[in-house]
Amino acid sequence: MKILRYILPVFLFALAAVALPPRGIMRFSEKGADLMNVRISKDHHGNTVFSLVDNTYAPDTATHVTDLVLSFNQPSKELVRDDTNHYKVRHASYLLEKGSGVIGGGGARFFRKADRIELENSTGLWLGECGDLGSFTIEFRFKPASLTGTQTLMKRIGYLSGIKNGFEILLINGRIHARFYGVFRNAGGHPVDVYLERGTTLKTSRWYHFMISYDRLSGKIGRYLNGDEEETAYVTRTREPYIDAYTPLFRCEDLPLVVIGKDFYGIIDEIRIAHREYSDLKKETALAYQRYKSVGEKGRLPVNREGVLTSAVYTFPLSGTKITSFDWEEKIPAGTFVWMEMRISDYLFGPNDATPRWYRISRGQRGIFEKKTEEGDYLRGKYLQWRAHLIASPDGKRAPSLYDVAVKYENDLPPGPPSGVKISSVKDTRFTIRWNKNPESDVGGYRVYYGIQSKKYDGVISHVNGKRIPSAEHIRGNVIEIEITNDVINENKKLDSQSVLHYPALKNTILYYVAVSAYDSYKPDTPFNHESELSQEITVRPFAGSEIDP
């Protein structure tokens, strides 16, 4: 067993996979690190320690944008722009509500048929964008006074293109319906409608926090009520995460008004729309959020940041390498935590590729290689990448730290070459070969190589009568015995239709050179299988005539 230790950070944008030695300890310095909201320091033991740069809701250094905030802290006649100063208010009619449940200076009570807010839209704003919208979050607090009929909480719907385009969040007979009309485009550019309508039935005179969030990288869209996930879907080609996520965008022909509170009876408070640049999602996971936001946070990132460290893609010497344990050292103050992901594959992948799938792992987890992926393969491979997440306490006062990540692994070595190979009988255009059974427990089968020149084999025999060598009839205790005939050769030639081998037929008096190999049970018939070296070469010459039994 070999042990590999990492000293963080690792290299996110490595152009090529980092090769690991087959044994021993490899340490990495912080030189060239790409860190997301993480700083490097040294403890009194000289260990390289990683902790969060920003534990709070302070302005973010990444290209995250709060597009719209309406805190409703003034009377409707004084509302001329939203709190971010991005949107001009075309019409505002509501009653300033000051009382239990509202945040800050007040909320907006809608109680007349004509009450509503209309915001002017323009290019350069998220609600007026006709390019890739990236990830986004739409959220607000509200307290319904009536649950009958159809009430508009918020909508942005355009018709100038001749096609209904945009979104609306409606309260219909006590349930919230979130509908996106043609906002999402598949790889062919065709618009797709998305509805999220499986929420719980609400009650009057209660405060609720509602949120819609879309993760541009994974394609996950979800609706949340009071912090609980009510419904999610993956807006992707296969309806699975990360598989060609659809692009959200509005039609360029439309810049419709944004309407809030039309036909709604109740109070709305703290509306917020935020989005993140798509490129940042390559370094961070989906949004985390607080249930209710205070006015003092408006204009800031609506989530507390996590620190993320993503390693380079490291290369093991062999395919099918087994991760026997994954461990790291951490300091976890109250209310903080660290979690880790890893992915492994026999196929080379880039540091920012969407595949293979990430799998969450626990500290000190053992036997990872025994777990299976959703595709049914074991979590083994030649290329490894891991990602660490450092999460601050909810109040932003404490942060965890991480150091000394260690991976223990075992190479999946090929079997040894078969021993005791010899010819046990020779007949008319056929011969029988035998060898000792290999001692390894994971041998998947054997291959008999043959040809008419020494060390140059023009045929490979791995099956007899549709079964891998050896099947039960070929085993005699610890010895395996196979009769090679022209029928067996033709069977294997058909199985190997893409090969350039000639598979010469057996003819009498021709001298043939033969050797045997063993291969393991890991992904047989793929380039990732492990095959032994060839056994010692032997020769055989078929010939006709009756044989006298000894």
Summarize pLDDT for 100-143 with one digit per residue, the tens.
788 888 999 999 999 999 999 988 889 998 888 888 889 899 99
- Quick one: which H or E segment has residue 437? none
Q: How far apart are CA 457 and CA 512, in angstroms?
A: 9
User: Exposed, middle or buried, 100 (CB in 10 Å: 0-12/13-18/19+)?
Assistant: exposed
In the prediction, which pLDDT does 226 show? Answer: 85
Distance from C-alpha of 442 to C-alpha of 438, rounded to nearest angstrom: 10
Range 307-315 average pLDDT: 80
Q: How far is CA 64 from the centre of its chain?
A: 22
The alpha-helical segments, DSSP class H, found in 479-531 are 486-495
3-state DSSP assignment of residue 449: strand
Q: Count CA atoms closer than 13 A to 187's CA, side-chain side.
A: 6
Answer whether 2-56+307-410 and 422-540 agree in fold.
no
Class (C level, CATH) for 64-303: mainly beta
Q: Please report, in angstroms and rounded to a whole number, the separation of the first and last CA atoms in the chain.
A: 51
Q: How does residue 26 score in pLDDT terms, banded at 50, 70 and 90?
A: very low
* H/E segment holding residue 464: strand 463-464
Predicted pLDDT of residue 129 = 87
Q: What is the pLDDT of residues 425-443, one digit of tens each?
A: 999 999 999 999 999 999 9
H or E segment and range at residue 212: strand 208-215
Rounded to an integer, what distance in angstroms lies between the CA atom of residue 322 and that of residue 412?
7
User: Would the pLDDT of 14 be above 60?
Assistant: no
Task: Please tell me what DSSP assigns to residue 393.
Answer: -
Q: Name the percent of the chain lying above pLDDT 70.
A: 83
242: left (phi over 0), alpha (psi -120 to 50) or beta: left
Pairwise pLDDT comparison (133 vs 515), residue with the higher score: 515
Contacts of 502 (CB under 8 A, 6+ apart): 458, 459
Task: For 2-56+307-410, give the CATH class.
Answer: mainly beta
Please state the separation of Cα 203 from the chain's center in Å: 38
- Residue 458 corresponds to which tokens in the numbers above? 């023009």
Choose which CATH entry (1.20.58.1030, 2.60.40.10, 3.30.365.10, 3.30.460.10) describes domain 422-540. 2.60.40.10
Domain ranges of the chain: 2-56+307-410, 64-303, 422-540
Rounded distance between C-alpha atoms, residue 316 and residue 385, angstroms:
11
483-506 residue pLDDT tens: 999 999 999 999 987 778 999 999
- Write phi, then psi, for 487 (nearest 5 degrees): -65, -40
Share of the chain above pLDDT 90, in %: 47
Q: Which of 85-99, 127-141, 410-424 has the lowest mean pLDDT?
A: 127-141
